Chains A and B, each alone.
Chain A
Amino acid sequence: MNFWVKEGNKKSIYACLKLYQEVLQLVMKKYISRICVVLLTLVMLMSMAVSAYAAPDVLPAEVESTVEGLLTLKAPEQLITSTDNKKLPISATVPEGAQVTVYRFDAVTGCYHKIVVDDVPMETTVGATMLYAGQVDLTTGNNKFLIRGGWDDSVYIVVKFEVNLLHIGFMDRIKGVISSIFN
């Protein structure tokens, strides 16, 4: 082929190029749909691999873990606690690459809803430290939360915990009583 091109004149080169073009067009017409399907599949696979998996926005109250030991809640240490602090730090240990999402229980719907702060969901993929840390606001009274650590839709663990925010007035009354005893 190379020999023929080298030996040929301008006309033969043009003829050669035209031949290539025709062959390409034929192939494209015949296989265009298949090529498109393959490319689309590739793009979808790549985007699935790159984009982070997102946990469901709402979880039913009776949701249960599908695996054990994937997430350990570090803070709060007890599953039912009381505090007078309006901010609650939450922490957990989770394997690197797993996703952690925090939900708050909504008494109206009877479900746990993903917490969203400033349009950003409380959802993180845990890094090499294997540590997760977050913070939620408490409302006066009982606050129910759920922390979910998972690899995907089917492999996950949920831990439910409750924090009772004591009313400042109530705390003050207790302090007042103690104060009157001591002073």
Chain B
Amino acid sequence: MLKKYLKNLLLFFSVLLMFFLAGQIWFGSYFLPDGYSYITSSIHSHIINPIQKWFDKGHEAGFSQNMKVLLKPNKIVLNHSGNRVMIQNGHPDFEKVRSFSDEFIYKVLTGEYSVRIKETISTDTYHSLLKGKTIYVDYGKDCDFRLFSSTLCDQSSNLLSEDISIVSGYIIGLHDSVMNDVSLYITDKKSNTAYRYIIEMNKNALDAQLQEYLAGASTGNILSYSFELNFHKEQENSASKVLFDPLILLDLMPSEIPSVQMLGTEEEHRSRFEEMTEDVLEVFSINSRTMRRYTDLENARVFVENNATLTMYPNGRLEYQTVQGSRGLDISNSTDRTNYDVSRAMADSVDFVAALCSYMPETYFEHLQISSGLVSQTERQTSYKLSFDYCVNGVPVRWQTEDGYHAAIEMEVTEGYLTSYRHCLWGYKAYEGERQQCLPLLTAADQLVNTLHNGTEPLHIETADYCYVVEEAGAVVPKWYGRVDGVERIFE
């Protein structure tokens, strides 16, 4: 009898052990790390993720919430009776102004405010609106309208979807005169067509808010749009070496912005970096038991797996690079890899970045802003290079390295697989007491012309904004950056 019980007990433990070992092979790749990763990823993508998604109804809201943090307007420009104020993130009124402009666009997109009339307008009319009573919300980058709409109102499709494919901002027009209505003006950047939607609402409340924000504005020099100075077009007998995009704002006097310094000391950063090593390895699905690790000549810690290398540099930089021919780390939320568009790439990337940033100080994620354009260049595009800036008061911080200037996070995603990732983990903060002078944009453009102009065609400055540059020596200096003839660069 005892022998029979022992036999059953032994059989029971054998079955348990079998499940345990199978689990280790499938999920942990502990015993046979080589060659089983595809099983692990298949199980994750075909079984675990769909089941998780089934139960996790709040997933999409999470993405939307993260996108709301990461996709903020670059600047909001208030125009009223000849006065003009530019508000950027970090300005005391930014959140209030953003809130009421977000509320307006939300109600239009969800149909709460009905559109009375829709019409197309000329580009010149669109520009001239900015001389009148308007609120111009500028995101500073092209964005797929479905993604834009999902971020603002959790709906990828709405009344405006049939007209707009790519958007970079919108204008709320209160009109200086005549009608008591409000208009929404949006330019579809794909077809370059500007639309006017006359909205059924009373403008008085918005008008009062606009006046309130502009009441305390300074009466000194106001910013001028490039189209007001005719810097956007060549004129007969007046050759210039540079043309500005019509909606670039030019400051005519030198301005000052707060100095920026590293948040905490280098030592504190290094020790935090050390502490979060295990978490970082987990996020990158690197098995700490099976990987190889060593410290290189630059004192960087290198973690080598079969398909990728993760390097943690002592200056707070993190680099992940898959080997050639490898698909990379599966970060997709979906099993379906077909029609992998920019919205899906962004959703996967945002979730990944949010997961990594959850191991960092809380404020770090709040400082991040999407800096790359959010559009598919072709219908068959499956690979996307996305970048996120670390911003201080809405001004991005760029890192200078031997091979140029970099955003805080630069990543490449191909059909849901992360193939490369570069992240600077150090945070920075502004010191309002210390201010640094910024050159006027025209002076910065002079330097750019001296560097780039080839003597024939004028340079075309498509975007221009301030940024802080962390130089290789560690100093942080304000500089102008922007897209010139299609290439993003620092103006120097």
Contact = CB atoms under 8 A, between A and B. Distances in A.
Interface stretch (B197-205, B403-411, B420-428, B446-454): B446-454
Given A74-B231, A179-B178, A135 B238 contact: no
A131 interface: yes
Contact of B443 (A77, A127, A175): A127
A26 B397 CA distance: 66
8 contacts: A72-B238, A89-B224, A93-B235, A127-B442, A131-B231, A174-B177, A175-B176, A182-B179
A74 B235 contact: yes
A156 B180 CA distance: 50
Given A75-B229, A129-B449, A87 B222 contact: yes
A74 B226 CA distance: 11
Contacts of B224: 89, 133, 135
Interface string A91-120: 111000000000000000000000000000
Contacts of A91: 229-231
Looking at chain A, what size class is its interface with the partner chain? Answer: 20 to 34
Given A74-B235, A129-B446, A131-B442, A175 B230 contact: no
Contacts of A74: 229-231, 235, 238
A128 B239 CA distance: 12
A84 B176 CA distance: 11
Contacts of A128: 241, 446-447, 449-450, 453
Nearest to A72: B238
Contacts of A75: 228-230
For the complex, would chain B's binding face be called helix, strand, loop or mixed by DSSP majority? loop
Contacts of B242: 129, 131
Interface of A: 69, 72, 74-75, 77, 84-87, 89, 91-93, 127-131, 133-135, 168, 171, 174-175, 178-179, 182-183
B189 to A, nearest CB: 26
A84 B240 CA distance: 29
B217 interface: no
Given A74-B238, A131-B442, 12 more contacts: A69-B237, A75-B229, A127-B442, A127-B443, A128-B446, A128-B453, A133-B231, A168-B81, A171-B176, A174-B177, A179-B177, A183-B180
B221 interface: yes
Contact of B131 (A85, A168, A175, A178): A85
B178 A93 contact: no
Contacts of B442: 127, 129, 131, 133
Contacts of B82: 84-87
Nearest to A127: B446
A89 B228 contact: yes
